[in-house]
Amino acid sequence: MNCMLWVFYGLPIVHKDSILVTTINGVGLFIEAIYLAIFLYHCGEKKNFRRNIVISLVAEVIAVAAIVLITLLAIQNFATKQMFVGIICDVFNVAMYAAPCLVIKKVWDTKSVEYMPFWLSFISFCNAVIWTSYSLIYKVDLYVLISNGIGAFLCLSQLVVYACFFKSTPKDKAGKPSEIEISATERV
């Protein structure tokens, strides 16, 4: 949904001179579509799982279509269109960066980073920094700048937590983080 919204935001009917936002997020949307198609194909026997994902995807497309229709039909002022779509994009963009932060409490409680994938946090941080830099260097776009600036901070906090607890994570013989043993109270 995030890429779909940013593709729409970057179109000239919403934001002038933002074709890079549209093209880059269009490529991201294409890659995500391929990933989802492969994932859905290999779901196997979990038909309810597959059905729930398809329902979620349809709901996302309907939500984006509603935003597009509201923007095009109900809002006439160009600046208001940009603000309306930009704020919605910012909300979903910050949610995307904040989602991995939900595991920080579990990492803190278990003193283990096995629940926090390093590469997700690192690549998300790089993405946020690149988009923030783009906004500052190319043309200051507050909607791109604000959400990705917040995203850079959130991803940096994930990396700091990872660095704090990486050494305390139990390792197996190969040196990889091992499964944390479930205590007797958690088994019940």
* Res 176: pLDDT: 59
Which percentage of the chain shows pLDDT scores above 90? 60
pLDDT of residue 57: 93
What pLDDT, on a 0 to 100 scale, did the predictor assign at position 158?
Answer: 93
185, burial (CB in 10 Å: exposed 0-12, middle 13-18, buried 19+): exposed
* Pairwise CA distance, residues 169 & 111, whole Å: 7
pLDDT tens, residue by residue, 44-83? 666 688 888 889 999 999 999 999 999 999 999 999 999 9
Residue whose entry in the numeric block shows the structure tokens 């198609």: 37
pTM: 0.81
pLDDT band at 187; cut points 50, 70, 90: very low
> Quick one: DSSP state of residue 74?
I
Residue 100, phi-psi category: left (phi > 0), alpha (psi -120 to 50), beta (remainder): alpha
